[in-house]
């Protein structure tokens, strides 16, 4: 098929050349008319002319074509017969050739002989074609003339080699060579090959190129090998001929060894070739690939191709212009000048991977085998995308490779962006496949893979044309309407980014985005905000005059939602309206730098914004929840984006007056009415006179809402006021303080009275009257406490950033009030079942939330994620480490003088029933990230730490954290960074506290003087701090270049805590010093949980180092110390150590230790026997106190898993390895089998179901690893280490026998969890028998192997009697490679010699019987 295609192409070339020469004859004939007579017949008495005329060809003079009167085949046949039958044959041939030589001495006559002849009678033309060959070509078709004609042509050709092209445009050398193409028969092909290769060696370069290209069309198959060898030699001599030679070699049938040699030669020059020549070179390399060397060749090709340095736009344009201006095309001959050489290069690769499966698979495999992040290239990613688009069968494979590369950090945003930037011309053609891949990646559960899929959409929109952009938007809209939360969030984020970056390109696609409005019912509040922000930006962004239809649609949807009677849709309308108002009233002063005043709103725009907000206010004022959501949304808008000054001024005036009228009253006017409880002004921070000050009117407002709903009770004061729900108090205040803060650049003097003003409440302490209250009254008190707590939380949010010492003190007092109120609330909730608190977060996700009641003992820790207690000594607010150390020391004193009233009360109330506030966190107002700046004040505040940790690890539905979600991860990371110094202070102070405690108790953890409650609070604070450090340094954003400096500064802070180092230290030094600083805390770790987080923190620091080996052993040593410590018992658990945490720490120890096998042997060979020999049931190992009978299964699982993982990761030995390597690996496997033997034999003592399950699972995996990794080693080592190998196999045989007994035990007990592992394990054991036999046979030691029947036994070695035991007692084959001693021992165990066939048959029968 290839030769036919090549033939047709060459015929076309020939015809084009000859036709072109024919068309050029006419103007030339006019010029030479005066020298020649037109259409004059050559009259000559020579034999040459006469014989031609007799055969039917008339020679013409001048510029006229020679005329052929008969068919070409008839002419050749007549001429052959005339010559053959001539009386003077064979002398007549010499005369004929001599006449030809004389005739072509004239250049014009020679040219006519090379050009096509003219037919006199077209109607008789053969095959219906009017094309006639030239005279020379016709003569070459006569066998008896061919050698002489070829000799004449090669003698004439050198005359024209160095002449310029004739005035008629005919290139004589090319015309002569064309005569030799596609001859029906070559008489002496070897001679022809010799002549043409000699000609190539002396011809100028441009003719060498043409001659080489013509070789496949001239030579026969028999000469391909010789020509290929000569061309390969020429390739080394003349690099200018690389392209034509490679093009020809691809068309010849050559020896694979020669092709490999040429390929290696070309591969070495690949980095220096011109970009224009690259397509042909790559085509040859891929053409020469075979199945055996595909991976090797593609891997080398991938390493040597460095396209990103040569395919830059400037070089791209240069290569294009160069191609267009060249006089001759590249060696392919049919390449179009208009195509870019880079596109041609990728077309070659596309063709190869589409039609050659071995090439596509090898390319994917080469990329998959690349492990280093730095070794991955732009070309790799481009190739995966191209193969994904061209080869359907490999799509799943490519997706798997891509996912693994993304997870490992090899394919990141920078690499993807560069790929699109450099190769967008190629990737544009495969846009549908790229979008299909992006869609598949977005269906993943891994956030990194989802993010990569979103980047594919982003860059496809950015770099491709309008059609592709429309497809991208359509695909994103499909994701948004799918209902999958992760897909919806990602697609909305991409759309929002595209709208911000390129609004003009997105605006034509607005009609697709508007369709999402029909799916609002299934979207979360945050998603609704993003959608309305997208549409509002398109409608009201720059050049929004052209977007009036979008504005009209938005207004229509929002008005419809706001006027809905269904509460959920009303809330959607509020979110949409406020979001749209934020875009309309955005401060654009920075965007319009040309006109400074343009940033403010025009009067018309301001009117539109205010009317929209008034509409929202009027539609929501009848519903407290809707109003509260409106205030929260508006507050988020002010906090997140700057409003234009006009809009902010209008909002501030309106809110200030409304808040004062609704919630603030004079303190001198005590509310009067028929209240169920006496009203008092409580929690004031100033001593007000009876006629001065303000108060928050909370109890009367709540009473009017809860008790006066039926209209039966209403005070005279309330009858004249508009009803306002206390539910709106905290949201309204948040909106008020943010307005004031924005208007006055953070100064809150206008509202600072709200920080210390009291609230109208009643006595909240439960006391004796708690039992006598009605359910309604209890619920009222609970609601009152919830509202008070949320007011205090918003007050702390508002004033936490104030710098005056007086203000800081008041904020700290409010924090103390929060802690005290939470304790009181727990008592009330314990006696108020089925109580549902008032909402504190008003987005859609919290509307149907109900608290989960769980009454627990107060002895358990009652601090929840949002609730808890803080430890405070005498109200001290200093941040000095010295003062804090003294504080901690004073608290070590058993005398109660230094204890706060809160701690005293906690001590006395331990036995009362309480409720965990953890279940109520959705009903508390969210604390802002700025609140944690309070930690600078020097308090160890667990309340704050709990809240911050809850920010780091959000719940499944993220309820109660809507404010936090509107901030980026980078903003939160910077906030935590600013707190590192005070957090380090607290960490050091708690460290000092536990060191002091340990010293006072002489190293005893739970000494007689220890305060239990205080100890647990401090331990919890310690754990929270370590969790915060771990969450911060484990943040994945540190790998991004823009966050490298943040990591550097954070490590610098830790380093300076240890010692004041030099500025601008290298990152490695900072990592080392930070590791050392954090490692120092291990001596004061109070609980196992803290130990785990400290180890994880050190591992995170270690992972960021490029040389982690020096600190790796330190982590192993630290983990071992923690495993060897005696930990205090927890409040709930018997051991005080959660199983998952113990498993995690033990795995860290075994992963980081320098010898896993020695560590396992120590635990299993020392620690476990200590546990077995301990007299008491609850005892533990003396070496490893964490190893108890309760935790043995954890230790066993981790050791088995790590043992299997270690041996599986050992590189397989090969015969080429040195003898020393063989000996080292044999010693390693001896240790591994010894450890395996120790572990397996433990099931005789610990035979619980989980232990047996672990043994079956990992036992099979270990045997499989032994087969794959160890048996090849034994093949090479048996002859030189015979005794060692036999000893190893004998030990391993005892272990496999115990595994066989375990299979029998599982069947007897009919435990499905265990028996499901039995078939695979038995199959593996059978494979081991066969493999050992093969190894012994290979080493000519067949006599050391014998096969016997093994009886089924239980774990204690007792024989299992089956129903048909008398008929068939053999159930499993077992190998025995032992000495005579072991053979006799085996015979005692009941093994009898049998043949292989008999054993297999009996095993099957026995298995069937037992089943």
pLDDT of the residue at 1182? 86
743-785 per-position pLDDT tens digit: 888 888 888 889 889 998 888 887 777 777 888 888 999 999 9
Q: Which long-range contacts (CB under 8 A, 24 or more apart) does 1072-1079 make?
A: 1072/1105, 1072/1110, 1072/1111, 1074/1101, 1075/1101, 1075/1102, 1075/1111, 1075/1114, 1078/1029, 1078/1054, 1079/1114, 1079/1118
Tokens at 1036, concatenated: 């994945």
Name the nearest CA neighbour of 989 among 851, 1121, 876, 869.
876
1190: enclosing H helix or E strand? none
pLDDT on residue 573: 92
Contact predicate 1113/1079, CB 8 Å: no
Q: How confident is the model at residue 636 (pLDDT cuts 50, 70, 90)?
A: confident
Mean pLDDT of 527-532: 90
Is the distance from CB of 835 to CB of 779 less than 8 angstroms? yes
pLDDT of residue 1149 exceeding 50: yes
> Could you report the per-residue pLDDT of 952-983, keeping only the tens digit for each?
433 334 566 777 777 778 888 888 888 888 89
pLDDT digits (tens, 9 = 90+) for 1331-1374: 888 888 887 776 666 666 666 666 666 666 554 443 443 344 34
Tokens of 439: 């869609």
DSSP assignment of 347-382 equals HHHHHHHHH-HHHHHHHHHHHHH---GGG--HHHHH
**pLDDT digits over 719-736, tens only?**
334 567 899 999 999 999
What is the overall mean pLDDT for the chain?
77
Give the pLDDT score at 1296: 86
CB atoms near residue 763 (< 10 Å): 12
What is the DSSP code (8-state) at residue 41?
Answer: B
Q: What are residue 1377's phi and psi, to 5 degrees? A: -115, 85
Report DSSP letters for 1000-1011, one per residue.
HTTT-TT-TT--
Question: Helix, strand or coil for residue 118?
Answer: strand
Q: How far is CA 845 from the centre of its chain?
A: 30
What stretches of 1104-1187 show up as alpha helix (H) in DSSP? 1109-1123, 1139-1152, 1156-1162, 1168-1173
**Tokens matching residue 856:** 């627990």
Contact 1050, 980 (CB under 8 A): yes
Check the CA dihedral 291-292-298-304 and report its sign. Answer: negative
Average the pLDDT over 414-423 and give the result: 88
The pLDDT, as a whole number, for residue 470 is: 92
Q: What is the pLDDT of residues 1251-1281, one digit of tens each?
A: 888 988 899 899 988 888 888 888 878 888 8
Contacts 24+ apart (CB under 8 A), 434-441: 434/385, 434/389, 434/460, 435/460, 435/471, 435/472, 435/475, 437/385, 437/388, 437/399, 437/402, 438/475, 439/475, 439/478, 439/479, 440/399, 441/399, 441/402, 441/403
Residue range 282-299: average pLDDT?
85
For the residues of 1316-1373, what is the DSSP string, one character each? Answer: TTHHHHHHHHHHHHHHHHHHHHHTT-GGGEEEEEE--B-TTSPBPP-TTTTT----EE
- 58 beta partners: 67
How many angstroms separate the Cα of 406 from the Cα of each of 450, 473, 1189?
A: 10, 24, 42
- pLDDT above 90 as % of the chain: 14
d(CA 1292, CA 1295): 5
**Are 984 and 935 spatial neighbours (Cβ–Cβ below 8 Å)?**
no
Give pLDDT, residue 1134. 45
Residue 696 near residue 729, CB atoms below 8 Å? yes
């Amino acid at each position: 098929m290839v030769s036919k295609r090549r033939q047709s192409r060459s015929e076309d070339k020939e015809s084009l050349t000859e036709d072109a020469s024919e068309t050029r004859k006419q103007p030339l004939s006019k010029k030479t008319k005066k020298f020649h007579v037109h259409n004059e017949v050559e009259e000559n008495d020579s034999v040459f002319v006469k014989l031609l005329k007799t055969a039917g060809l008339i020679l013409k003079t001048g510029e006229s074509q020679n005329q052929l009167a008969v068919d070409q085949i008839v002419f050749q046949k007549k001429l052959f017969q005339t010559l053959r039958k001539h009386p003077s044959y064979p002398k007549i041939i010499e005369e004929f050739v001599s006449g030809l030589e004389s005739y072509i001495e004239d250049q014009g006559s020679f040219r006519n002989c090379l050009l096509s002849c003219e037919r006199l009678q077209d109607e008789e033309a053969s095959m219906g074609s009017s094309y006639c060959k030239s005279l020379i070509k016709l003569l070459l078709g006569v066998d008896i003339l061919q050698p002489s004609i070829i000799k004449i042509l090669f003698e004439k050709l050198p005359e024209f080699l160095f002449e310029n092209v004739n005035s008629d445009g005919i290139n004589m050398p090319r015309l002569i060579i064309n005569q030799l193409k596609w001859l029906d028969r070559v008489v002496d092909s070897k001679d022809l090959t010799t002549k043409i290769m000699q000609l190539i060696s002396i011809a100028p370069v441009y003719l060498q190129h043409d001659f080489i290209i013509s070789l496949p069309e001239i030579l026969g198959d028999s000469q391909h090998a010789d020509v290929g060898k000569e061309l390969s030699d020429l390739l080394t001599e003349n690099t200018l001929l690389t392209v034509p030679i490679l093009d020809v070699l691809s068309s010849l049938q050559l020896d694979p060894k020669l092709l490999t040699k040429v390929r290696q030669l070309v591969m070495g020059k690949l980095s220096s070739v011109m970009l224009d020549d690259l397509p042909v070179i790559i085509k040859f390399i891929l053409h020469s690939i075979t199945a055996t060397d595909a991976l090797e060749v593609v891997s080398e090709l991938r390493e040597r191709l460095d396209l990103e340095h040569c395919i830059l736009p400037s070089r791209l344009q240069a290569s294009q212009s160069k191609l267009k201006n060249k006089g001759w095309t590249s060696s392919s001959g049919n390449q179009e000048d208009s195509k870019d050489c880079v596109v041609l290069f990728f077309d070659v690769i596309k063709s190869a991977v589409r039609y050659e499966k071995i090439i596509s698979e090898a390319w994917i495999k080469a990329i998959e085998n690349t492990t280093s992040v730095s070794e991955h290239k732009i070309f790799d990613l481009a190739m995966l995308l191209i193969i994904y688009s061209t080869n359907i069968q490999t799509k799943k494979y490519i997706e798997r490779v891509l996912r693994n590369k993304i997870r490992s950090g090899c394919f990141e945003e920078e690499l993807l962006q560069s790929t699109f930037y450099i190769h967008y011309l190629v990737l544009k053609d495969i846009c549908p496949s790229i979008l299909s891949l992006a869609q598949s990646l977005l269906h993943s559960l891994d956030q990194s893979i989802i993010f990569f899929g979103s980047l594919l959409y982003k860059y496809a929109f950015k770099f491709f044309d309008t059609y592709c952009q429309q497809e991208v938007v359509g695909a994103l809209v499909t994701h948004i309407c799918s209902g999958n939360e992760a897909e919806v969030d990602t697609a909305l984020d991409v759309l929002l980014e595209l709208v911000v970056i390129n609004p003009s390109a997105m605006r034509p696609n607005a009609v697709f985005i508007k369709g999402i409005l029909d799916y609002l019912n299934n979207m979360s509040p945050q998603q609704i905000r993003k959608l309305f922000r997208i549409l509002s930006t398109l409608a009201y962004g720059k050049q929004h005059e052209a977007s009036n239809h979008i504005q009209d649609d938005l207004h229509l949807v929002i008005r419809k939602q706001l006027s809905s009677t269904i509460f959920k849709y009303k809330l959607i309308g509020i979110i949409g309206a406020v979001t749209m108002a934020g875009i309309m009233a955005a401060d654009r002063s920075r965007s319009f730098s040309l006109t400074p005043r343009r940033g403010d709103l025009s009067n018309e725009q301001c009117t539109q914004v205010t009317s929209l907000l008034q509409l929202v206010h009027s539609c929501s004022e009848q519903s407290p929840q809707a109003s509260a959501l409106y205030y929260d949304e508006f507050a988020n808008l002010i906090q997140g984006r700057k409003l234009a000054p006009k809009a902010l001024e209008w909002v501030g005036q309106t809110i200030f007056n409304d808040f004062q009228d609704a919630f603030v009253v004079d303190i001198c006017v005590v509310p009067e009415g028929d209240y169920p409880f006496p009203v008092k002004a409580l929690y004031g921070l100033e001593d007000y006179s009876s006629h001065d000050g303000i108060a928050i009117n909370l109890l009367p407002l709540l009473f009017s809402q809860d008790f006066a709903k039926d209209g039966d009770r209403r005070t005279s004061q309330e009858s004249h006021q508009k009803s306002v729900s206390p539910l709106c108090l905290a949201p309204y205040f948040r909106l008020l303080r943010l307005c004031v803060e924005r208007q006055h650049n953070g100064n809150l003097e206008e509202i600072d009275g709200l920080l210390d003003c009291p609230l109208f409440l009643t006595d909240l302490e439960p006391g004796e009257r708690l039992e006598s209250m009605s359910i309604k009254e209890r619920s009222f008190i609970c609601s009152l406490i919830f509202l008070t707590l949320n007011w205090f939380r918003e007050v702390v949010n508002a004033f936490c950033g104030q710098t005056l010492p007086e203000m800081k003190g008041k904020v700290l007092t409010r924090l103390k009030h929060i802690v005290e109120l939470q304790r009181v609330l727990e008592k009330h909730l314990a006696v108020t079942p089925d109580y549902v608190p008032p909402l504190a977060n008003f987005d859609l996700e919290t509307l149907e939330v109900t608290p989960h009641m769980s009454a627990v003992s107060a002895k358990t820790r009652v601090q929840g994620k949002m609730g808890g207690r803080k430890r405070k000594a005498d109200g001290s607010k200093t941040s000095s480490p010295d003062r804090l150390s003294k504080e901690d020391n004073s608290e070590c004193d058993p005398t109660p003088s230094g204890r706060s009233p809160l701690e005293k009360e906690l001590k006395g109330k331990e036995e009362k029933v309480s409720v965990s506030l953890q279940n109520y966190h959705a009903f508390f107002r969210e604390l802002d990230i700025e609140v944690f700046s309070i930690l600078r004040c020097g308090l160890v505040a667990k309340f704050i730490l709990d809240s911050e940790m809850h920010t780091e690890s959000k719940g499944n539905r993220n309820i109660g954290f809507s404010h936090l979600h509107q901030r980026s991860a980078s903003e939160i990371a910077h906030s935590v960074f600013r707190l590192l110094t005070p957090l380090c202070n607290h960490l050091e102070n708690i460290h000092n506290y536990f060191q002091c405690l340990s010293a006072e108790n002489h190293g005893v953890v739970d000494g007689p003087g220890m305060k239990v409650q205080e100890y647990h609070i401090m331990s919890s604070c310690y754990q929270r701090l370590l969790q915060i450090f771990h969450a911060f340094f484990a943040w994945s954003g540190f790998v991004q270049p823009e966050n490298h400096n943040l990591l550097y500064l954070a490590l610098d802070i830790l380093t300076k805590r240890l010692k004041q180092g030099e500025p601008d230290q290298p990152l490695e030094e900072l990592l080392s010093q930070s590791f050392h600083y954090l490692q120092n805390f291990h001596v004061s770790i109070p609980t196992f949980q803290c130990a785990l987080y400290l180890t994880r923190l050190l591992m995170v620091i270690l992972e960021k180092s490029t040389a982690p080996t020096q600190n790796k052993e330190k982590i192993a040593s630290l983990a071992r110390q923690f495993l060897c410590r005696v930990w205090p018992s927890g409040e709930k658990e018997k051991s005080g150590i959660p199983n998952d945490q113990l498993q995690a720490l033990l795995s860290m120890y075994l992963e980081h230790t320098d010898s896993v096998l020695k560590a396992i042997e120590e635990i299993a060979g020392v620690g476990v026997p200590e546990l077995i020999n301990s007299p008491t049931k609850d005892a533990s190992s003396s070496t490893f106190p964490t190893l108890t009978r309760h935790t043995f299964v954890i230790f066993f699982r981790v050791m088995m898993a790590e043992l299997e993982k270690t041996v599986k990761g050992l590189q397989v030995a090969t015969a080429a390895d040195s003898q020393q390597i063989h000996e080292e690996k044999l010693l390693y496997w001896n240790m591994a089998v010894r450890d395996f033997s120790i572990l397996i034999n433990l099931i005789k003592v610990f035979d619980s179901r989980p232990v047996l399950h672990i043994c079956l699972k990992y036992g099979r995996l270990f045997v499989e690893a032994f087969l794959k990794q160890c048996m090849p080693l034994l093949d090479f080592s048996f002859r030189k280490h015979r005794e060692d190998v036999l000893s190893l196999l004998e030990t391993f045989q005892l272990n496999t026998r115990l595994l066989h007994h375990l299979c029998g035990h599982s069947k007897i007990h009919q435990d499905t969890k265990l028996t499901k592992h039995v078939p695979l394990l038995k199959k593996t054991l059978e494979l081991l028998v066969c493999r050992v036999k093969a190894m012994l046979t290979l080493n000519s030691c067949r006599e050391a192997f014998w096969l016997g029947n093994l009886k089924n036994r239980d774990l204690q070695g007792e024989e299992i009697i089956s129903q048909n035991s008398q008929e068939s007692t053999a159930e499993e084959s077992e190998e025995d490679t032992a000495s005579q001693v072991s053979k006799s021992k085996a015979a005692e165990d009941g093994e009898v010699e049998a043949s292989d066939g008999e054993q297999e048959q009996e095993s099957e029968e026995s298995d069937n019987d037992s089943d």
